[in-house]
């Protein structure tokens, strides 16, 4: 029996296996002005094909909760009903192939207002249709323009925006919602001492720097059904100095364990463990499964279910991570871009049951 293809139940939701699709921005939403951020036929095809490919949970890409929370002008959004309506077909399509439909809610913070990566990813100035980014303080990300520091009132508005987006996600048919607290975006930039130099209740101590993340988590949990899970994605380390006295000190693995306990207390059901993204020049020792130890550490210290992500590309590798109890699930990104049917082929390699659509039955045989 394959551990990777065992179901997992979180609250009252059963996910058919532990091989999941990581949220990956496609920078392909439709619309302009107030009608921006709407899912298209591309999103439907892109996401449902991975569901047909046997992936257990499909997490829709980072979806902005406010207009200024977009990474690019082409990001998905979920701050109005038109955007919600555009995602109904996507969620239904994912579920029609036996997968669970999830969505990641996000705010880009000081990394907002940039071009799509394939045209350079440069910051877009306001005179060219960009917008003012926001952050915990007015310090920029790399060579981006200085963001506006959020006021306490604006922080409260952003917390409510996450909750309102979660309500729309539920109405659109999603069964899992994930909060993006990683990769240098708004929540992460509040967490890290490298980017948060506030002197009020949202900066300084660990308790203050985690306040915004915990308020968002609590607000979303309050509007999300008790029987359905809420995930939180974290960057478990900034890959910077870990000595608090060092001017380059960042968020650490120890901080992540502490936060995981707090998130668990407010009702978060799984920690999606990634790393990095806070600064452009961090030295990251990337390699196969390089982020798995951070997930394992959280799981051992807290008992909170975790998902591991990062250069997981082989069925045997994914199987070993789950079978050894290092993570409860794995999230694949680029490998699923390359091969929408990775899960079907992995199931065959691991002698697990496959969930091919019946329309494909003639092609399965020994080679399926």
Confidence class for position 249, pLDDT limits 50, 70, 90: confident
Q: What is the pLDDT of residue 179?
A: 98
Please state, rounded to an integer, the average pLDDT across all residues of the chain: 95
8-367 has which fold?
Answer: TIM Barrel (3.20.20)
CA-nearest of 128, 178, 136 to 155 is 136
Q: Is the pLDDT of residue 242 over 90?
A: no
Q: What is the pLDDT of residue 355?
A: 80
Q: What is the pLDDT of residue 259?
A: 98
Q: What is the DSSP letter of 326?
A: S
Q: 176 or 358: whose pLDDT is higher?
A: 176
Confidence class for position 365, pLDDT limits 50, 70, 90: low
Confidence class for position 245, pLDDT limits 50, 70, 90: low
Rounded distance between C-alpha atoms, residue 273 and residue 210, angstroms: 17
Rounded distance between C-alpha atoms, residue 254 and residue 243, angstroms: 12
Q: Are 76 and 64 in contact (CB under 8 A)?
A: yes
Q: Are 326 and 307 in contact (CB under 8 A)?
A: no
Q: Give pLDDT tens digits for 120-136.
A: 899 999 999 899 999 99
Q: Token pair for residue 19?
A: 């091989």
Query: Which residue shows structure tokens 């407010």?
Result: 266
Confidence class for position 95, pLDDT limits 50, 70, 90: very high
Local structure of 104: helix, strand or coil: strand
Q: Are 293 and 334 in contact (CB under 8 A)?
A: no
Q: What is the pLDDT of residue 312?
A: 96
Q: What is the pLDDT of residue 145?
A: 94
Helices in the chain by DSSP H: which ranges? 41-52, 81-96, 152-172, 186-191, 206-209, 211-223, 253-265, 292-302, 315-323, 334-338, 342-349
Confidence class for position 367, pLDDT limits 50, 70, 90: low
Q: What is the pLDDT of residue 325?
A: 97
Q: Give pLDDT tens digits for 303-346.
A: 999 999 999 999 999 999 999 999 999 999 999 999 999 999 99
Residues labelled catalytic: 185
- pTM, two decimals, is 0.96
Q: 266 or 355: whose pLDDT is higher?
A: 266
Calculate the dihedral angle through the C-alpha atoms of 318, 323, 325, 331, rounding to the nearest 10 degrees.
20
Q: 194 or 246: whose pLDDT is higher?
A: 194
Burial pattern 96-120, b for ≥16 Cβ within 10 A else e, equals ebebbbbbbbbbbbbbbbbbbeeee
């Amino acid at each position: 029996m394959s551990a990777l293809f065992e179901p997992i139940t979180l609250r009252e939701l059963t996910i058919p296996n532990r091989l999941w699709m990581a949220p990956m921005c496609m920078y392909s939403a439709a619309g302009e002005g107030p009608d921006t951020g709407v899912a298209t036929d591309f999103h439907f095809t892109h996401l449902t094909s991975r569901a047909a490919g046997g992936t257990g949970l499909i997490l829709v890409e980072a979806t902005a909760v406010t207009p200024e929370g977009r990474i690019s002008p082409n990001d998905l959004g979920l701050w109005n009903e038109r955007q919600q309506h555009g995602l109904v077909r996507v969620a239904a399509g994912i579920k029609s192939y036996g997968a669970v439909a999830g969505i990641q809610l996000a705010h880009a913070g000081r990394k907002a207002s940039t071009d799509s990566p394939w045209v350079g990813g440069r910051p877009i100035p306001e005179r060219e249709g960009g917008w003012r980014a926001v952050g915990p303080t007015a310090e920029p990300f790399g060579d981006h323009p200085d963001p506006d520091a959020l006021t306490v009132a604006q922080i409260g508005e952003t917390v409510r925006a996450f909750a309102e987006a979660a309500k729309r996600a539920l109405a659109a048919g999603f069964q899992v919602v994930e909060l993006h607290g990683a990769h240098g975006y708004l929540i992460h930039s509040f967490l890290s001492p490298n980017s948060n130099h506030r002197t009020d209740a949202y900066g300084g101590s660990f308790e203050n720097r985690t306040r915004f993340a915990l308020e968002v988590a609590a607000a979303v949990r309050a509007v999300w059904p008790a029987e359905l899970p809420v995930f939180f994605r974290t960057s478990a380390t900034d890959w910077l100095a870990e000595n608090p006295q060092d001017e380059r000190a960042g968020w650490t693995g120890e901080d992540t364990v502490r936060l995981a306990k707090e998130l668990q207390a407010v009702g978060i059901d799984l920690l999606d463990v990634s790393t990095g993204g806070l600064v452009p020049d961090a030295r990251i020792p990337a390699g196969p499964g390089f982020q798995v130890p951070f997930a394992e550490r959280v799981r051992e210290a807290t008992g909170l279910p975790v998902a591991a992500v990062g250069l997981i590309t082989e069925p045997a590798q994914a199987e070993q991570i789950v079978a050894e109890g290092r993570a409860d699930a794995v999230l694949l990104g680029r490998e699923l871009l390359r091969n929408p049917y990775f899960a079907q082929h992995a199931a065959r390699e691991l002698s697990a049951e496959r969930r091919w659509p019946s329309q494909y039955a003639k092609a399965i045989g020994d080679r399926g």
